[in-house]
């Protein structure tokens, strides 16, 4: 009887242990940057413009020369990089396990970064059908070439599936205007870099649009850039916005420093390219000789596109624009490194650790090798 009880306890104990998720012991701190006080009637004020920032440091120590600053995309928050919606460790965990300190944020006027009714512009919410069609169940809708090859989302990606429901419930309203988001995020992230110093910037989707203005304002603090299916393509909305003009400064809504200087977007002469593109698709680039993003020339860039996302249609055009602007870009389509079936939310899909290790982690390690050797970061 005693033995039986012991076995029951052991089995129960094992079940508990198996349920405990992997986790790197770490320190956590949160703070806000970028606020200013906005006067209100009655001798008082409110704060606006600040972003929520969470700093996670492995307890065993940081072994990498630079921390990674993650910036999430539309409708998302910093939770994107914590555990995945099906409860596996996320990219923050993977990078901490590999010796990186990580910063997670909520974009300006989003999530834990306050949206102030009297200051900030209108918000919008991405509905469940759009999320299934674009991110989680593209295989069901067949809206673009390769969408049906999507296999890596955990669960069926639609309402009623527990993983989808968790993911969707984590989504929050975002500013309607990418222009307003661009200005406010540039301001807040410059304040963040001024506080924390050198980083590797890792951005997803919409945050691609803010990557360039942040780096433009603080080029010496951005040691490398990883863009995951970045905002684009140049000068127009993506496939779902029927080629309406967007990103007037090329890949941004806010001004970039060009050389020769561009005083206004109309200084950027463009040309429509169809050769080498998917049938029916036009890529708008600068006319040569192209103006350069002169502040960003020394920052290495890795741009990643999945096999099945709609970004597969035009991310090559976005990368061509970056290269014309003078950047050195490694462009990886996941299928070319034998990673198949991923969509837009690759960093939380079933093989998220594989992508972290084989693509992102490997590239960052290579680009920061010299800093590793020469540094004594405390
Ligand atoms: C507002 O503050 C000013 C300066 O401190 C003071 O003179 C004034 O009486 C205050 N007004 C109110 C309504 O509290
Ligand atoms: C997805 O899974 C949920 C939960 O099992 C189920 O209720 C729903 O019908 C499934 N949806 C589709 C489109 O298969
Ligand atoms: C280039 O493409 C854009 C977007 O499709 C279109 O609006 C514009 O008219 C085109 N310009 C030329 C010169 O063909
Ligand atoms: C679709 O997938 C195939 C096979 O991996 C790949 O060769 C092709 O580039 C992909 N096309 C797009 C538009 O992503």
Nearest by Cα to 306 from 369, 260, 348, 271: 348
20 has pLDDT over 70: no
Q: What is the pLDDT of residue 279?
A: 87
Q: What is the pLDDT of residue 377?
A: 47
216 has pLDDT over 50: yes
Render pLDDT for 256-290 as a digit per residue (tens, 0 to 9).
999 999 999 999 999 999 999 988 889 999 999 99
Nearest by Cα to 304 from 239, 364, 257: 364
How many other C-beta atoms can be found within 10 angstroms of the C-beta atom of residue 72? Answer: 23
Q: What is the pLDDT of residue 259?
A: 98
What is the bridge-based pairing of β-strands 222-228 and 301-305? parallel
For ligand 4, which residues put their CB under 6 angstroms from it? 145-146, 307, 312-313, 335
Looking at all shown ligands, the one closest to residue 137's CA atom is: 2
State in Å: Cα 86 to ligand 3 middle.
43
Catalytic entry in 74, 113, 147, 205: 205
Domains of the chain in sequence order: 4-377 (3.40.50.1820)
Nearest CA residue ID for atom 1, ligand 3: 272
Looking at all shown ligands, the one closest to residue 272's CA atom is: 3
15 has pLDDT over 50: no
Mean pLDDT, residues 350-367 = 98
Mean pLDDT, residues 303-314 = 97
Q: What is the pLDDT of residue 24?
A: 83
For ligand 3, which residues put their CB under 6 angstroms from it? 236, 243, 272, 282, 284
pLDDT above 90 as % of the chain? 88
CA 122 to centroid of chain Cα atoms: 22
CA 68 to centroid of chain Cα atoms: 11
What is the bridge-based pairing of β-strands 199-204 and 222-228? parallel
Residue 59 burial by Cβ neighbours in a 10 Å radius (0-12, 13-18, 19+): exposed
Render pLDDT for 321-335 as a digit per residue (tens, 0 to 9).
999 999 999 999 999
Do the beta carbons of residue 40 and residue 48 sit within 8 Å?
no
With bands split at pLDDT 50, 70 and 90, how would you rate the model's confidence at 5? very low
With bands split at pLDDT 50, 70 and 90, how would you rate the model's confidence at 1? very low
Q: What is the pLDDT of residue 280?
A: 84
Cα 225 from Cα 16, distance rounded (Å) = 40
Q: What is the pLDDT of residue 242?
A: 64
Render pLDDT for 244-255 as a digit per residue (tens, 0 to 9).
999 999 999 999
pLDDT above 70 as % of the chain? 92
With bands split at pLDDT 50, 70 and 90, how would you rate the model's confidence at 12? very low
User: Strands, DSSP E only, in 213-300?
Assistant: 222-228, 258-259, 270-273, 283-286, 292-293
* 150 HSE (CA, 13 A, CB side): 31
With bands split at pLDDT 50, 70 and 90, how would you rate the model's confidence at 370? confident
What is the bridge-based pairing of β-strands 123-124 and 102-106? unpaired
Nearest CA residue ID for atom 7, ligand 4: 335
CA 239 to centroid of chain Cα atoms: 20
320: phi > 0 → left, psi -120 to 50 → alpha, else beta; which? alpha
Do the beta carbons of residue 329 and residue 301 sit within 8 Å?
yes
Q: What is the pLDDT of residue 6?
A: 39
Render pLDDT for 151-195 as a digit per residue (tens, 0 to 9).
999 999 999 999 999 999 999 999 999 999 999 999 999 999 999
346 has pLDDT over 60: yes
Using DSSP's 3-state secondary structure scheme, residue 138 falls into helix
Cα 331 from Cα 233, distance rounded (Å) = 15
Do the beta carbons of residue 151 and residue 341 sit within 8 Å?
yes
Indicate if 306 belongs to the active site: no
Mean pLDDT, residues 301-306 = 98
Task: Give me the chain's average pLDDT, please.
Answer: 93
Lowest mean pLDDT among 54-58, 196-200, 313-317, 368-372: 368-372
DSSP state of 291: P
Cα 233 from Cα 139, distance rounded (Å) = 23
State in Å: Cα 158 to ligand 2 middle.
7
Mean pLDDT, residues 57-79 = 97
Q: What is the pLDDT of residue 19?
A: 42
273-308 as b/e, with b when 16 or more CB fall inside 10 Å? eeeebeeeeebbbbeeebbbbbbbeebbbbbbbbbb
CA 134 to centroid of chain Cα atoms: 16
Lowest mean pLDDT among 13-27, 113-127, 220-234: 13-27
Q: What is the pLDDT of residue 192?
A: 99
Q: What is the pLDDT of residue 21?
A: 55
Contacts of 284 (CB under 8 A, 6+ apart): 233, 234, 235, 236, 270, 271, 272, 273, 317
Model confidence, pTM: 0.92
Looking at all shown ligands, the one closest to residue 161's CA atom is: 2
Mean pLDDT, residues 132-152 = 97
How many other C-beta atoms can be found within 10 angstroms of the C-beta atom of residue 323? Answer: 15
């Amino acid at each position: 009887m005693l033995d039986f009880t012991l076995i029951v306890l052991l089995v129960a104990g094992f079940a508990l242990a198996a349920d405990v998720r992997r986790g790197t012991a770490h320190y956590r701190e949160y703070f806000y940057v970028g606020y200013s006080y906005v006067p209100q009637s009655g001798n008082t004020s409110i704060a606006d413009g600040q972003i929520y920032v969470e700093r996670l440091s492995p307890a065993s120590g940081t072994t990498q020369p630079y921390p990674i600053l993650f910036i999430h995309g539309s409708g998302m928050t910093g939770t994107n990089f914590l555990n995945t919606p099906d409860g596996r460790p996320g990219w923050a965990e993977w990078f901490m396990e590999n010796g990186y300190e990580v910063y997670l944020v909520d974009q300006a006027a989003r999530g834990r970064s306050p949206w102030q009714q009297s200051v900030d512009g209108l918000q919008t919410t991405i509905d469940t059908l759009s999320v299934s069609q674009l991110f989680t169940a593209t295989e069901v809708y067949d809206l673009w070439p390769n969408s049906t090859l999507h296999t890596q989302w955990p669960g069926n990606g639609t309402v009623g599936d527990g993983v989808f429901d968790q993911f969707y419930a984590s989504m929050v309203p975002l500013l309607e205007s990418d222009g307003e988001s661009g200005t406010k995020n540039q301001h807040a992230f410059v304040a963040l870099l001024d506080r924390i110093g050198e980083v590797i910037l890792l951005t997803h989707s919409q945050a691609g649009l803010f990557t360039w203005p942040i780096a433009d304002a603080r080029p010496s603090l951005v040691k490398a850039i990883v863009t995951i299916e970045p905002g684009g393509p140049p000068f127009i909305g993506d496939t779902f916005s029927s080629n309406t003009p967007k990103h007037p400064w090329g890949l941004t809504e806010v001004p970039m420093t060009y050389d020769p200087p561009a005083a206004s977007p109309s200084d950027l002469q463009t040309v429509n390219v169809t050769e080498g593109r998917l049938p029916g698709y036009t890529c708008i680039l600068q006319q040569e000789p192209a103006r350069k993003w002169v502040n960003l020339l020394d920052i290495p860039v890795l741009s990643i596109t999945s096999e099945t996302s709609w970004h597969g249609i035009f991310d090559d055009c976005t990368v061509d624009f970056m290269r014309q602007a003078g950047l050195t870009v490694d462009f990886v389509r996941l299928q070319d490194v034998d990673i198949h079936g991923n969509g837009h939310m690759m960093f939380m899909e079933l093989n998220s650790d594989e992508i972290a290790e084989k693509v992102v982690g490997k590239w960052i390690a290579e680009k920061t090798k010299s800093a590793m050797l020469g540094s004594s970061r405390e």
